[in-house]
Amino acid sequence: MNGANVAAHKPVSLMEQQLDDYIQSVTPAIPLGRTGTPDEIAKVAAFLASDESRYITGVELFVDGGQGQIYGTACDVGKTAAVSFKEKSMSNKITLVVRFHMDESVKKEFTAKLQAVFTHIVKEETFVEASLVEDMRDPKTILNYEVWNESPESFMKDQMSKAYRAEFEKMIVDLKIDRTPAWYSTIADWKKG
């Protein structure tokens, strides 16, 4: 094949392209900043299948780059939740309630970083309102209430990928703050007249 040029390419199917697009859209929300490799998943499976894990029973092990720790099950339920919220809610308004549990020594740094994040959030077109409240019986617990004109799925895709959230997300992990999110849809509204 002297002097011959050979060009080859693998055609990408629509399904492969959709998968690539999906991976690119969710990767910014993964605390480790990347998706897992097949080898990483295989090593966990091999461990669970080995005698080394003989005392493990009745637990779910998430190999998800930290998403389960940060977002709870919201990432897993996204599409189903978005459909059920649209069917049951009065509007496309959702409320995200996040329970943070932390050591008292990190609370000041946490609230300062959250306030910095909210200087950006309040400028988002779909943001409605938010409040941060402390449990009067347990000062280590703080609840963040955010109201958005979004679905849980669009929130995870559009809002969690914002650059200004990255430093806050890293701080959550670094300071070992427990976070439990929950999505709520509005079924009734009352306002002072």
Residue 99 lies in a domain: yes
Q: In whole angstroms, what separates CA 54 from the centre of its chain? A: 31
Residue 20 lies in a domain: no
Residue 12 lies in a domain: no
First-to-last CA distance in the chain? Answer: 85
Q: Is this prediction's pTM over 0.85?
A: no
Mind giving me the DSSP string for the chain? -TT------PPPPHHHHHHHHHHHHHGGGSTTSSPPPHHHHHHHHHHHHSGGGTT--S-----STTHHHHHTTHHHHHHHHHHHHHHHSSSSEEEEEEEEE--GGGHHHHHHHHHHHHHHHTTSTTEEEEEEEE-SS-TTEEEEEEEEES-HHHIIIIITT-GGGHHHHHHHHHTT-EEEEEEEE-S------
Residue 36 lies in a domain: no
Residue 173 lies in a domain: yes
- The pLDDT score that the predictor gives to residue 77 is 40
CA angle 132/113/63 to nearest 5° reads 90
**Separation CA 157–CA 104 (nearest Å):** 32
- The pLDDT score that the predictor gives to residue 123 is 94
Residue 22 lies in a domain: no
Q: For residue 101, what is the domain's CATH number?
A: 3.30.70.100
**Separation CA 127–CA 163 (nearest Å):** 17
Q: At what angle do helices 107-121 and 166-174 cross, to 10 degrees?
A: 160
Residue 58 lies in a domain: no
**Structural domain that includes position 123:** 66-185
Bridge partner residues of 93 (DSSP): 149
Number of domains in the chain: 1
CA angle 57/72/188 to nearest 5° reads 130
**Separation CA 99–CA 183 (nearest Å):** 12
Residue 6 lies in a domain: no
**Separation CA 87–CA 81 (nearest Å):** 10
* Tens digit of pLDDT at every position of the chain (193 positions): 445 544 444 555 556 776 677 777 777 777 777 888 877 777 777 777 888 878 877 777 777 777 666 555 444 444 333 333 334 444 578 899 999 999 999 999 999 999 999 999 999 999 999 999 998 898 899 999 999 998 888 888 888 888 888 888 888 888 999 998 888 887 777 878 7
